[in-house]
Amino acid sequence: MNITFRQLRLFLALAETGSVSAAAKVMHVMQPTASMQLREVTQAVGLPLYEVVSRRVYLTEAGQALARTARAIASEWDGFEQRVSGAKGLTSGRLKVAVVSTAKYFIPRLLGSFCKLHPQIDISLEILNRDHVITRLRSNLDDLYVMSRPPEELLLEDQILMPNPLVVIASAGHKLAAKKRVNMAQLQGERLLLREKGSGTRMATDAHLRQLGFVPTAVLELGSNEAIKESVEGQLGVSILSRHALGAHHDGLAVLDVQGFPIQSHWHLVWPKGKQLSPIAEVFRGHLVGEVKGWLGAR
């Protein structure tokens, strides 16, 4: 079977983008060239590797197996290049990180400080909901992942990064905003605005409310923290969100002093168990831990 490394890279780009034209752009070739190369890969394997339905590429079983193999080979080669660069005293390379949407309130700052120290490193940051991050984690598409509730069914290396307290918020003008030690009974008549089911925040919230024996009178699900904050500020109800999602300025919102809160959650840095992190990923992991320690120590 005669397949070049560049052809493997092209097929991997096809698997990750779901489009021949997009894969061609990733590999900086013309689409006809990409199509020809992909046909040669299919001919070399001797089995159909993908099919196109409504202009979307879907991998066959053989295609999925080839994508896994190509990904493993590419990962090993990238690691080799980074080790050689390190031996030469260079710091070039690529880092891929996927995080859940709530982490966008602090991860970019950590990436920014890392980029200042290592300006030659190319960084890819994927900000997605929890289900999509887990999908990428299952396929080992990135170097590192940040989330609040790692999936229990996957074998992972799991490093607790920092606390992720979940607090009850209301509009700044809410009748309970200035009260001390609000009890859950006082929230019984409030509409509770929650993230969609499957999000880490929602999973932690549901578990905590069950533990407290609290059943909300009315629930409204919203798909983003921004939508929830706007709705709470507009007095549509109260919510439970990560304190990180509030940002530095939230004049229109108030954190309520509710008994049993905040929910003690954590941010986790994870990667597949047994995976050998690239030298750059190891350096970035150490950078995250060091920066977070500095943040927590300054509080």
Domain ranges, residue 11: 1-74
Domain presence at residue 138: yes
Structure confidence by residue, pLDDT tens digits, 61-101: 999 999 989 888 888 887 777 677 665 554 667 889 999 98
Structure confidence by residue, pLDDT tens digits, 124-167: 899 999 999 999 999 888 999 999 999 999 999 999 999 999 99
pLDDT at 297: 65
Q: 196: how many CB neighbours lie within 10 A of its CB?
A: 14
- The answer on pLDDT for 295 being more than 60 is yes
- The answer on pLDDT for 1 being more than 80 is no
How would you classify residue 176: left for phi > 0, otherwise alpha for psi between -120 and 50, otherwise beta?
Answer: alpha
Domain presence at residue 83: no
Instruction: Kindly indicate the confidence band of residue 115, based on its pLDDT and cuts at 50, 70 and 90.
Output: confident
Q: Are 200 and 224 in a shared domain? A: yes
Q: Residue 126 sits in a domain of what CATH number?
A: 3.40.190.10
Structure confidence by residue, pLDDT tens digits, 208-223: 999 999 998 889 999 8
Give every CB contact of residue 112 below 8 A, 6+ residues apart in sequence.
none
Q: Are 275 and 155 in a shared domain? A: yes
Number of domains observed in the structure of the chain = 3
